[in-house]
Structure 1
């Protein structure tokens, strides 16, 4: 009776909803091509809904079929049209050749509003000033030494005791959770000079870490629904937008507390917040410090933790690669530490991991002026979406073995690291916006990976499904369940 009354009262609305679901089910049951159909009114939105469970894989197949670039048309009048590409020639043109025509833009800033006026959202002069200051803070020898020391101390005093305990108990552990807690503590130490103790026994819940997770889920949601939808949800303060609003408050409180402690002299060290506060600059106010530190936390915590997670999953599935890393570790170690600067194969394995599973699986920009690209056309004010996840799976870019995990592709005949242009390997961005923390990230990842691989063996829990999570960072949806064993014990049993 209620449905009948609704139909009689709002026949146009019911007809539109019925047509949408008819199109959706037709698409779901009959579509063979991976390229989305541009339907009247709803555009290509049914394709996203039909493939939401495996979005990255579907985009990859669509790009393969389209030749690395296709135009996505959203529902009419909802400003959801954009160019999707993983063509290195397009990346080089947009990120390098004509960089000035492709700023982050107002739409990017609106989606990532939680980042404020920080370096990720900044364009033009503001970006140049912030990048110069960030480069000065991160490139000093003191800070580089601080990174290495913090990483080594955290591994020795927190990660090792935890792993020894897990190995002794023999119970499954979510390695993604472990690595994200580790990198959260490390990044907080590097940015604020504070270790929250997220990796402590019992795995305490840290509100700031949980808030960042909620924020990233909401930001991903903003990418896949029409802008008016999430803006209405933001106005009504419901759903993902309410979680983002609550997370925003927690993040601001955490940052404000640490800034205040710095001002009172309760925290002091080689961290980035101290470095920024010591600079004599009129721009260094509380809002600048808040936006800068939030940007740095987002850049450093999840990207490194997620990369380590995918690396250990790949190593568990490719034991021959793990054996080669062990050989390299034995050749470049003394009684107390590993010389990570000489570990070419480990570095290559990390690059190969990031090629297949980039921590940031997509990025987008907007064109100021219309122009032809090497493939496709960028219209004025149109969004351009780059799939770094798909680029690593293109035969035309990486060869017929692109889906294989082969660190050897990064090593030259002379045994040195092979350089690949950043527009082909986009994990650390490209051109003038290349990630300033690239070397820091590799230092952290190599210290953690070398220590873990040398001391422990990681076995996947049978039946545990690994798939990407819906987030702006390539988390594993249900974590990485493993069992940890002492490597010394395995050697005694003749398993190595």
Structure 2
């Protein structure tokens, strides 16, 4: 027995020394331990509950770059938030860094749409979308849809909440996502699902989109063979993915069929109608329309919805920012007169507001809707940071972390300070896209950037001017485990009407 206890003690000592050896190889405490055979897998799984913030701490300790590998599982990627690497990957050496086949497999729900496409297919789809979205007819249609949704749905719903009971609460994150879903369906399909009706009806396709986003995040962590098998047999999180895929496909098929049968298709300004009318017969298959529409639906609903949710969260925490926005809106509101129950603003009236735009940019810096971007290297390359990549290597560019790097944004990088976007002479400061990655960078810069800003300004101005929104004390707000930066617990707020006398006092 004594020899057994001695051997056990020796083994424990060896394990302790080996563990200390592994720990000594780490550049920062938060960095995951690299174990034989399994690599960083234990660290990845242990930190899934706060992955974005954990990755940010690791990147800060590793000078913005960290190679992740999970040994025999086959999971291997390089994460970076280094602006010089971003410029190289997204612009200087763009052709070497497409989305890649693995990206298309992970996001297979998007089919062959523009977000999954590379090469000639991507260039063709981008050219068509750019031509459509730049047309005056579509811009006018977009502005009208935004104004109508704010005027006829969002403001009446918030008024109903405010009038229902003193200190009435609602989940503003859910409200905003419902609104952006309606707005995007209007722009893409030409239909309004009415998700923001009083009573908040259940919307199966919206829930399906949430399930897809949650499952696709886990696909970045799990080995491809594992999640593929789970999807085939509908197990674990992939069961929700399979059900969600069927729900989304059914919604798209039904909507496309209705648009095709519409006798007034040519007079409609939505994107689906425009693609049907303007495309050649060979290009306008139902599969093409399905992939295009679903890509645009995810882009419009989730990016704008997530950004606006975080914007209201930050404004609630920073009342001095809210006051400055109200001060900027006051001269416009003063021209509206007192006959209106609530004030809504035209898109043209908000385009010149510097501080509101700056506040939105500052929100997007701290909480970009897409916390990371996925790329793959076609050929081996050496990044400006000195890190070597092999052909086929996967890269995750962490925009969420970049906004929190002191070396990129200064010592106040964790503060919500819209003033950083305003020059000394009161104009809007422009930052390079490889530093401010909220709308992607290089040739794949987001085509919907102007539409998104238009929608965000209209919603932010209308809500802040007409209502006092306050976060419920004690409610925990944190990012959800998803490829989109949604809120895990929603945004619980109280909504109260602003007093008319106070509004006009500000305006004068």
TM over 0.5: yes
2:12 matched residue in structure 1: none
- 1:412 pairs, out of 406, 415, 423, with 423
Q: Match of 1:433?
A: 444
TM-aligned CA distance change 1:91 to 1:492, over 3 Å: closer
Task: State the shift of 1:72 in Å.
Answer: 0.8
Decide whether aligned partners of structure 1 residues 109 and 267 sit closer, same or farther in structure 2, where only a CA change above 3 A counts: farther
Kindly provide the CA deviation profile for residues 212-271 of structure 1, in whole angstroms up to 9, marking residues without a partner as x.
Answer: 111111111111222222112112211111111111111111111111111111674210
CA RMSD of aligned residues (A): 2.1
Flag the 1:101–1:156 CA change in 2: closer, same or farther, 3 A.
Answer: same
For 1:294 and 1:358, the matched residues in 2 are separated by 21
Taking the aligned partners of 1:455 and 1:143, their CA distance within structure 2 comes to: 28
1:186 aligns with 2:183: yes
Determine helix, strand or coil for the equivalent of 1:428: coil
Matched, 1:491 2:466: no
Superposed displacement of residue 331, structure 1: 2.5
- Whole-angstrom CA distance in 2 between matches of 1:278 and 1:494: 51
* Pairing of 1:92-241 with structure 2 (within 5 A): 92-169=87-164, 170-241=167-238
Q: Secondary structure at 2:368's aligned position in 1?
A: coil
> Residue in 1 aligned with 2:42?
46
Distance 1:377 1:141 in 2: 46
2:372 to 342, 357, 362: 362
* SS of corresponding position for 1:342: coil
How far 1:380 moved relative to its partner?
A: 0.8
Query: Structure 1 residues 494 and 446, CA, compared in 2 at 3 Å: closer, same or farther?
Result: closer
Structure 2 distance, partners of 1:490, 1:121, is 52
Alignment partner, residue 11 of structure 1: none
Q: Which moved more, 1:230-239 or 1:84-93?
A: 230-239
- Does the CA contact (< 8 Å) of 2:28 and 2:62 recur in 1? no
Q: How far is 1:495 from its partner?
A: 11
Distance 1:283 1:41, change over 3 A: same
8 A contact 1:466–1:480 mirrored in 2: yes
1:295 aligns with 2:305: no
CA distance in 2: counterparts of 1:116 and 1:37, whole angstroms: 37
Change (3 A) 1:255 1:112: same
- Equivalent-residue separation in structure 2 for 1:364 and 1:476 (angstroms): 21
TM-score (normalizing by structure 2)? 0.90
Q: Secondary structure at the match of 2:469?
A: strand
CA contact (8 A) 1:69 1:83 kept: yes
Please give the alpha-carbon distance, in whole angstroms, between the structure 2 residues aligned to 1:348 and 1:393. 17
Cα contact 2:468–2:497 (8 A) shared by 1: yes
CA distance in 2, matches of 1:494, 1:407: 24
Question: Which SS does the other structure have where 1:233 is aligned?
Answer: helix
* 1:257-287 alpha-carbon deviations (Å, 9 max, x no partner): 1111111116742100011001132211110
Q: Which runs of 5+ in 2 are unaligned?
A: 1-14, 337-342
Post-superposition, which runs of at least 4 consecutive aligned residues in structure 1 deviate over 2 A?
331-334, 489-496
Work out the CA distance in 2 between the residues paired with 1:476 and 1:365.
25
The alignment partner of 1:305 has SS state of: helix
* Gap change, CA 1:492 and 1:369, over 3 Å in 2: closer
1:378–1:384 contact (8 Å) kept in structure 2: no
CA shift digits 1:150-199 (9 cap, x unpaired): 11111111111111111112321000000000000000000000000000
Give runs of aligned pairs for residues 459-474 of structure 1, distance below 5 A: 459-474=470-485
Q: How far off is 1:492 after superposition?
A: 8.4
Q: TM-score, normalised by structure 1?
A: 0.92
> 1:73–1:81: 8 Å Cα contact kept in structure 2?
yes
By how many angstroms is 1:332 displaced? 3.2
Is the contact made by 1:193 and 1:267 (CA closer than 8 Å) also made in structure 2?
A: no
Return closer, same or farther for 1:237/1:167 CA change in 2, 3 Å cut-off: same
Deviates more, 1:409-418 or 1:111-120: 409-418
